[in-house]
Structure 1
Amino acid sequence: MQTGKQYDVIIIGGSYAGLSAAMALGRSLKKVLIIDSGKPCNRQTPHSHNFITQDGEKPAVIAGKAKEQVLKYSTVSYIPDLALSGEKGENGFTITTQSGENFEARKLIFATGIKDTLPDIPGFAACWGTTIVHCPYCHGYELRNMKTGILANGERALHLAGLVHNLTKDLTVLTSGKAAWTQEQIAKLDQHRITIIETGVVEIIRNGAQIEAVLFSDGSKLQVDALYAAVPFTQHSGIPASLGCELTEQGHIKVDAFQQSTVPGVYACGDNAAMMRSVANAVYSGNVAGAMVNKELTDEQF
């Protein structure tokens, strides 16, 4: 367990990506501290899919098993806390937490995820992650053949429409405003018999977490069993940006093929650094980050 406050690596975020990185480092006997606030982005999602050997399992069960396995490595420590700030020093980095603790490490790995910015539509948040979802790969099979809506506009809506149309033909795109497409794009939607509704969405009618209908500003309703929504996001942690990590145009932490950010000694993995939001990708990118940080530490010592 924790001995002292100096580490080879501090991993901020203890969900799938962070735990995967910690396992790679723990197996190489690196002294690692995981700082985790306990608020994974998918905490409302009842089941995880498209992750081989774990298809249909509850996300908390996967994370709990992973944490149990990772903490069996004696050089890995874990604290439930929120990392508030970070500073780069002469020999590495210092992380300050909400509880007032300071921890030092030669390298940092951010597995902090992202925070969805949900629209201020009554009923939306209660259904998010269950019957209002973001990803056909994560949820589409379970929602197949259902009466489905897509709450999006522009290129994102077209992207989702193509993927979801393969899963259900009862499909309506809700732009909640003027449709931002060319005539050719509208013709493609018409060709596939995808209805477009531009009227503003004002409420999600639901029964618990089950969406039942969408209420529009003109008082009309559309009955749906599932809704895909393209929502904006922000970085869950502002520390990478404060350290100088560059972000992509989409808002992800910019990393190379080895999960190295634009700041030497700082790595990022999982949803905060990738467009593909999935448990499988988080585990993969975390494993790469852990291995690459171990290589960098080894190269500096050997």
Structure 2
Amino acid sequence: MENDKNFDAIIIGGSYAGLSAAMALGRSLRQVLIIDSGLPCNRQTPHSHNFITHDGEKPSVITQKAKEQVLSYPTVRFQQGLAINGKKNNDGFEISTVDGEAFNAKKIIFATGIEDVMPDIQGFSACWGISVIHCPYCHGYEFSGKKTAIMANGERALHLASLVNNLSTDLTILTSGKANFEAEQAAKLEKHGIAVIEEEIVKIQHKNGWLEKVVFGDNSTRAFDTLYAAIPFKQHSAIPVELGCDLTEQGHIVVDNFQKTSVKGVFACGDNASMMRSISNAVAAGNLAGAMVNKELVEESF
């Protein structure tokens, strides 16, 4: 199998969703290739939470254990590398890597995740996933009762504030520009004692990724323990769009209830296809994608 270039399925992305899909297929004795670049989006996050049986574990430890279990199935192969191109062929699809290798498969599963687009704020990226965070469910409990900021504006800021308000009574919204709240929204913030600062954020002062102060354009500072940030993202891989997969208005890959994309034979799972950005959701979606790929293979051959 090591020299074989033809597979039942190629899974691009070897983190939680991809490994979960591979396990489902490996247990059905499908010939599977996982191609992974080794750069998961949560690589800076010190601990994973809200994933039952693994609460508080390091993400890398979860991944390594999952990889060992998946690769115990003899029909699953792991390829370290970066997939850069994809095209349809007579038998399905061809995927090429940056190293010049090409592999063929009847089905493709994209578990490629998304890439966060960091703002031009000094210190922001160094704190991302550590004390500058995106999800109250993944990180909120650990910062409950702490001095908390939310970097967002308008409806997004209000949504985050409503979730975080249950975790901290010391909550401030940083709009980094003119606040954009309707009268009813502003009244809700005032009712819950949530302050709004419009001054532009220019720097996150931190120590080894742990936030100490936010520095504003007028040189004033405010001390916080954590900062929730609603930042834009893009697809980590351009291949899904290259193959013709539709994207939502938000930028996720469009999938149906069975993780099928708009392109026949192509599936997607995990952060690249869902607003529910968590390990538990990625594992569940990957398991379903693997099962549905196997179902299609069965229907085509039986």
Shared fold (TM-score, shorter chain, > 0.5): yes
Deviation at 1:90, TM superposition (A): 1.8
**Aligned partner of 2:28: which letter?**
S
The alignment status of 1:11 with 2:11, answered yes or no, reads yes
8 Å CA contact 1:147–1:224 kept in 2: the answer is yes
Once residues 156 and 295 of structure 2 are traced to their aligned partners in structure 1, the CA distance between those partners, rounded to angstroms, is: 38
* Partner residue, 2:208: 208
Mapped to 1, the partners of 2:203 and 2:105 lie a distance apart of 47
SS in 1 for 2:39: coil
Deviation at 1:218, TM superposition (A): 1.1
- Aligned residue number for residue 260 of structure 2: 260
Q: Distance in 2 between matches of 1:222 and 1:58?
A: 30
Can you list the C-alpha shifts for 1:134-187, whole angstroms capped at 9, x where unaligned?
Answer: 000000000000000000111111110000000001000000011111011001
Which residue pairs with 2:282 in the alignment? 282
Identical-pair percentage: 65
- Structure 1 residue matching 2:176: 3-state secondary structure: coil
Structure 1, residues 20-74: CA drift from partner, whole Å, max 9, x if none?
0000000000000000000000000000000000000000000000000000000
- Structure 1 segment 92-111 matched on structure 2, within 5 A: 92-111=92-111
Alignment partners' CA distance in 1, 2:177 and 2:184: 19
Any idea what SS the aligned residue of 1:44 has?
coil
Q: Quick one: distance in 2 between partners of 1:42 and 1:207?
A: 19
Q: Kindly report which structure 2 residues correspond to 1:98-177, keeping only aligned pairs within 5 A, or say none.
A: 98-177=98-177
The 5-angstrom pairing of residues 214-233 of structure 1 reads: 214-233=214-233
Q: Unaligned 5+ residue runs, structure 2?
A: none
**1:265-288: per-residue Cα shift (whole Å, max 9, x none)?**
000000000001100000000000
Which whole-Å CA distance do the structure 2 matches of 1:3 and 1:22 have between them? 19
Give the whole-Å Cα distance in 1 for the aligned partners of 2:42 and 2:156.
21
Shift of 1:2: 2.3
Q: Which residue pairs with 1:21 in the alignment?
A: 21
CA RMSD, aligned part only?
A: 0.6
Q: TM-score, normalised by structure 1?
A: 0.99
How far apart, in 2, do the equivalents of 1:295 and 1:2 lie?
25
Distance 1:258 1:267 in 2: 8
Q: Which position in structure 1 is the counterpart of 2:248?
A: 248
2:62 aligns with 62
**Structure 2 letter corresponding to 1:216:** F
Letter in 2 for 1:143: F
Separation (CA, whole Å) in 1 of partners of 2:68 and 2:210: 33
Structure 1's consecutive aligned runs of 4 or more residues displaced over 3 angstroms after TM superposition are none
Q: How far does the alpha carbon of each residue in 1:191-231 deviate from its partner, in whole angstroms, 9 at most, with x for none?
A: 00000001110111112211111111111111101100001
Partner amino acid, structure 2, of 1:176: S
**Structure 1: any 5+ residue segments left out of the alignment?**
none
Residues 1:35 and 2:35 are matched in the alignment: yes
Distance in 2, Cα, partners of 1:77 & 1:210: 38
Alignment deviations for residues 104-125 of structure 1 (CA, whole Å, 9 cap, x no partner): 0000000000000010100111
CA contact under 8 A between 1:2 and 1:78: conserved in structure 2?
Answer: no
What residue identity is the alignment partner of 2:236? H
Instruction: Report the CA distance between 1:91 and its aligned residue.
Output: 1.5
How many Å separate the matches in 1 of 2:54 and 2:185?
Answer: 38
